[in-house]
Amino acid sequence: MNGEHSATTDERDEQTTDDTRTQTMTTDRSRLCRTFQTAPAAVPRENTAKYLDSGLSATGFQKPDWLVPDIEDGTAPDMKSEALDNVVDRLPDAEFVGEVWPRVEWSYEDERFRDRGREQIRTLVREVGEFVDGVVVPKVGRLDDVKRAERVVAEAEREYGYAEGSVGLSVIVESARAVSDLREISQWGGESRLHGLVFGPVDYTAELGGRELDGQPPTWDSLLWRLSNEASANGLVALGGPFDRLFGERAGVRFYNGEAYADQVEREAQVGLDGSWSLHPNQTAQANRVHMPSPSELAGDVQRIESFHEAKGDGTGAVVVDGQMVDEATYKNFVNTVETVTVIHEVAPEQTTTLYDEELLDRAFDLDL
């Protein structure tokens, strides 16, 4: 939620345009997005910014890496303008430490939505450009439509005097056309201001005519794999879609549906998505945890790096740690774990100090990577 992105963007572009540089994964990690929490920017309550305020002031594991003030589907049609006002009003004074990415309106197939989206983007950049990390554009179509959205951001950025690339773009992949062009969009995106690919299962299922039979909606596993692959190939972040069965009920008691959500988040983490969509502080807390190294992962990798350094000091090339042969390639993975923890520690120290031993953190931060 500040103006450092142009440097980050440049860094990333350099790395992804040259196959021979150090792996882009490291860069993915430095752009932390374990949680993509949408908050309706206006709701019919006394304080219409209730959910926005709540997201901006969240603490501990409930603080999302990305807060997404939602001016699109989460906000009723007759409250769109109040939603935009709320965002403009709240961002300057918020003390939120993560990134802020408002979601605007858009549609590859309907110009009216694009016109509204353009106005929303222009207002956001003009009024609070220095307080947003980028905008989230939903319902994009083929590559041409994504480029069209990018031009809107670029124009607003230029018109209101921001450095090129300082306002990022993430898109929601929820049309058959966007999926058909996923490779092309991602490859173009690796050299543009595009940062995130977010899956939108509800619209996607409707567009394909998918059906929920026996209560099981399609899970689109192959699509998640491709999203993860294309994001990794091009230095982008890939994020899962929302899980909207927030609450279950049995024998008269209503309860937070924590098992089912964690299952979804774990499936997403397994195929390498960087983060998950959250609709609720509890979901944020769970997704933040699943998408960070466990204490034993961190402890193991710190120890392997220490042993590797020691062995290299001895002049030996190969090191065996806990029965695993460590070379430059595997070493890189251990480093990734520590770098991820380092980045999380910067934006959410209350999470790292809660999850890991102080001594372990000290050893991790003392490493010469």
As beta bridge partners, residue 278 has 37
Site string for its own copies, 24-63 (x = CB under 8 A): -x--x-----------------------------------
Sign of CA dihedral 161, 36, 279, 173: positive
Q: Which of 222, 353, 357, 369: binder of its own copies (CB under 8 A)?
A: 222
Q: Which of 7, 176, 260, 369: binder of its own copies (CB under 8 A)?
A: 176
Name which of residues 106 to 165 contact its own copies (CB under 8 A).
107-111, 141-142, 144-145
CA distance 39 to 67: 7
Q: Residue 63's closest CA among 107, 40, 95, 89?
A: 95
Which one, 91 or 269, has the nearer CB to its own copies? Answer: 269
Q: Which of 65, 99, 150, 230: binder of its own copies (CB under 8 A)?
A: 230
CA distance 133 to 282: 24
**Are the C-beta atoms of residues 274 and 237 closer than 8 Å to each other?**
yes
DSSP 180-213: HTHHHHHHHHTTSSEEEEEE-HHHHHHHHT---B
Under 8 Å CB-to-CB from 88, ≥6 apart: which residues?
A: 123, 124, 127, 128
Which one, 212 or 322, has the nearer CB to its own copies? Answer: 212
Q: Which of 212, 314, 358, 368: binder of its own copies (CB under 8 A)?
A: 212
**Are the C-beta atoms of residues 356 and 365 closer than 8 Å to each other?**
no
- Smallest gap from residue 234 Cβ to its own copies (A): 8
Q: Which of 8, 50, 53, 73: binder of its own copies (CB under 8 A)?
A: 73
- Smallest gap from residue 165 Cβ to its own copies (A): 23
As beta bridge partners, residue 136 has 103, 170
- Smallest gap from residue 197 Cβ to its own copies (A): 13
Contact between 316 and its own copies (CB under 8 A)? Answer: yes
- Smallest gap from residue 304 Cβ to its own copies (A): 14
Which one, 222 or 353, has the nearer CB to its own copies? Answer: 222
Which one, 130 or 203, has the nearer CB to its own copies? Answer: 203
Q: Residue 143's closest CA among 169, 111, 181?
A: 181
Q: Residue 33's closest CA among 310, 328, 288?
A: 288
Which one, 129 or 241, has the nearer CB to its own copies? Answer: 241
Report CA dihedral (330, 334, 336, 339) to the nearest 10 degrees: -150
CA distance 197 to 229: 11
Residue type, 265: V
Name which of residues 295 to 314 contact its own copies (CB under 8 A).
none
Chain position carrying tokens 């500040």:
2
Which one, 110 or 350, has the nearer CB to its own copies? Answer: 110
Name which of residues 187 to 206 contact its own copies (CB under 8 A).
187, 203, 205-206
Kindly determine how many residues on this chain lie close enough to bind its own copies according to the rule CB under 8 A: 73
Name which of residues 318 to 357 contact its own copies (CB under 8 A).
318, 325, 327-329, 332-333, 336
Q: Which of 207, 307, 345, 363: binder of its own copies (CB under 8 A)?
A: 207
Which one, 96 or 277, has the nearer CB to its own copies? Answer: 277
Site string for its own copies, 6-25 (x = CB under 8 A): -------------xxxxx-x
